[in-house]
């Protein structure tokens, strides 16, 4: 049962433009969301998080938006850089859940 879905397996963007990565979830109890970035041959690294009490969280070039009614979150990267090329995973959890549910990942390619 895939509670967190990333329906786009890949995304290609030109350097300097905006990258938008999407994530949908099904469990309305989820109230804490993370994005991870993963380079080849490395473990996923934490990028940014958002709690359900917010609808937006920003950290430099990275902004995560949360739409609770649509059960949808997105990660915006502006401007995109070639070093952002990686696989991005979204993950969700809930109060008193002791684990995160991960999406299948979206591979972002930022072209110079």
Closest separation between CB of residue 105 and other proteins, Å? 6
Q: Which is nearer to other proteins, 19 or 33 (CB)?
A: 33
Q: Which is nearer to other proteins, 62 or 97 (CB)?
A: 97
Closest separation between CB of residue 103 and other proteins, Å? 7
Interacting residues toward other proteins by CB under 8 A? 34, 36, 41-46, 49, 89, 91, 93-100, 102-105
Closest separation between CB of residue 39 and other proteins, Å? 10
Closest separation between CB of residue 100 and other proteins, Å? 6
Long-range contacts formed by 1-4: CB under 8 A, 24+ apart: 2/26, 2/104, 3/27, 3/30, 3/92, 3/101, 4/90, 4/91, 4/92, 4/101, 4/102, 4/103
Q: Which is nearer to other proteins, 85 or 106 (CB)?
A: 106
106-111 and 10-14 beta bridge pairing: parallel
How many Cα neighbours within 13 Å face the side chain of 105?
13
Q: Which is nearer to other proteins, 17 or 46 (CB)?
A: 46
């Amino acid at each position: 049962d895939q509670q967190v879905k990333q329906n786009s397996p890949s995304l290609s963007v030109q350097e300097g433009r905006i990258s938008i990565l999407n994530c949908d979830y099904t469990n309305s109890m989820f109230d804490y969301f993370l994005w991870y970035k993963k380079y080849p041959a490395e473990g996923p690294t934490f990028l940014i998080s958002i709690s359900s009490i917010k609808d937006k969280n920003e950290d430099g070039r990275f902004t995560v938006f949360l739409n609770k009614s649509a059960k949808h979150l997105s990660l915006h990267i502006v401007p995109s850089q070639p070093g952002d090329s990686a696989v991005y995973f979204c993950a969700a959890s809930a109060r008193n859940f002791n684990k995160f549910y991960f999406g299948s990942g979206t591979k972002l390619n930022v072209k110079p």
